Amino acid sequence: MPSVAGAEEADYGARLGFSHGLVVQELGQDDDVDDSLRESVEEAVGGSLVSDDHPGTVDVVLLWLRQADGDLVDILTEAADPLSPDGRIWVLTPNPGKPGHLEPGEIEEAASGAGLSRTGTVPAGAWTASRVVRPKAPGAPG
């Protein structure tokens, strides 16, 4: 029987709402990323993550972000460029107390400055995932 941690790791893709067929672009990958989370996302979508040179639109951006990575508004603005109209960004930042951690309020402020909205946060192992989307236009369905 798998351990609780193993079951949790296998569930990252589903927990973050990834489903088969989504095109997921990964940005900010470095040596510190959680490979089990990446693998879980790839398993959920049924394919590999695409890089920043992907030529078309993407459904989701998986953005590994640390405090020292640069201007958060600029990073989120660039991350949103290839998104489909209903796309989302998962901003992954190290957990509280870890080097590079960003507070949810910092992400929310940067998202607002980029014309986006932070809609929630979920734990993802050693990382915290914040969901960032384009705000719905008034009267828009959904």
CATH code: domain of residue 106: 3.40.50.150
- Position 142 in a domain: no
Helix (H) or strand (E) holding 23: none
- Domain that residue 72 falls in: 4-133
Evaluated on CA atoms 101, 71, 23, 33, the torsion sign reads negative
Say how many domains are in the chain.
Answer: 1
Task: Give Dmax (Cα) for the chain.
Answer: 49
- Position 138 in a domain: no
pLDDT at 6 over 60: no
Q: Per-residue pLDDT averaged across 20-25, rounded?
A: 97
Retrieve residue 37's tokens.
């989370």
Q: Give per-residue pLDDT as tens, 25-43.
A: 999 999 999 999 999 999 9
pLDDT at 96 over 80: yes
Full-model pTM = 0.88
- Position 140 in a domain: no
- Position 125 in a domain: yes
- Position 93 in a domain: yes
- Position 50 in a domain: yes
Pairwise CA distance, residues 127 & 96, whole Å: 9
